[in-house]
Amino acid sequence: MARLTRRSVIRGSIGLVAAGTLARPYIANAAATTAEVWWVQGFVQEEDVAFKKIVADYEKASGNKIDYSIIPFAPGRQKIVAAMQTGVVPDMFTNNPIEIGALYAWDGKLVDVSDVVATQREEFTETALANNYLYNNIEKKRSFYGVPYTTATLPNHVWRPLVEKAGYKMDDIPKTWDAYYDFFKEVQKKLKAQGARNVYGLGLNVTTNGNDPNNVFNYFLTAYGGAGMVMMGGHEAESQPFRASEAAIRGFWKHYRSLMGD
């Protein structure tokens, strides 16, 4: 039986699953033949089925054991934070929420996995690499403290039947940023004029926790010229105006306020 290490587990499974980043605590047992993995529950059952198949295939091929737990998002976050505080940690966990990779790397609590990333670096996008090239404030350096295995897009979902009920066609939706959002305010007015209740033209996330508010702000930041503000090494892009941040906040608030006042 080949000896299972935390690096060999990642090398064997990287790129086969679909969620965030594998973050690996520094206290875990690297020489064990069983690896403990905490995995975030999928939005649909097929995601969990696929993960279980990956585990089964790996165990069959290697003779090693993956002791996994599939945990919903919110309980998983609590479990990870508690584990990192006590030092009783698994070998690997998904970065749930995504910010914890950077936070724990800063504190020096994650293993440098640059050697793992190097074996398949050409398979990763620059965005995936940049999001895992993190700063360790204990060692005063940047390195890879997570292995990316998926990327995602940030979509706007449009409910076509409601657009049509308001008297519009999908082709009527503008293709520019502010006009796009202004259009759905008019949809809201038309629906409410027809007697619809509890209907809003936009669903904007305004909370102090979770990934969704960060994602929505990133929509606006990119739209107002803020893409690429911070480069791979953590330095500012010389040509990138930071006033894009202010413009994004003002733009977001303008749309949110108008919806609430209608």
Q: Tokens for 19, please give them.
A: 């969620």
pLDDT higher than 60, residue 69: yes
Reduced to 3 states, what is the DSSP secondary structure of residue 92?
A: strand
Note the pLDDT tens digit of each residue in 126-154: 888 988 899 999 999 999 999 888 777 77
Note the pLDDT tens digit of each residue in 204-230: 877 777 678 888 888 888 888 877 776
What pTM was computed for the model? 0.70
Note the pLDDT tens digit of each residue in 81-131: 999 888 888 888 988 888 888 899 999 999 899 998 999 899 898 888 988
Q: What is the pLDDT of residue 41?
A: 93
Confidence of residue 32 (pLDDT cuts 50, 70, 90): low
Angle at 91 between CA 89 and CA 93, to 5 degrees: 85
Q: What single string gives the DSSP state of each residue in 169-238?
A: -GGGS-SSHHHHHHHHHHHHHHHHHTT--S--S------SSSSHHHHHHHHHHHHTT-TTSB-TTSPBPT
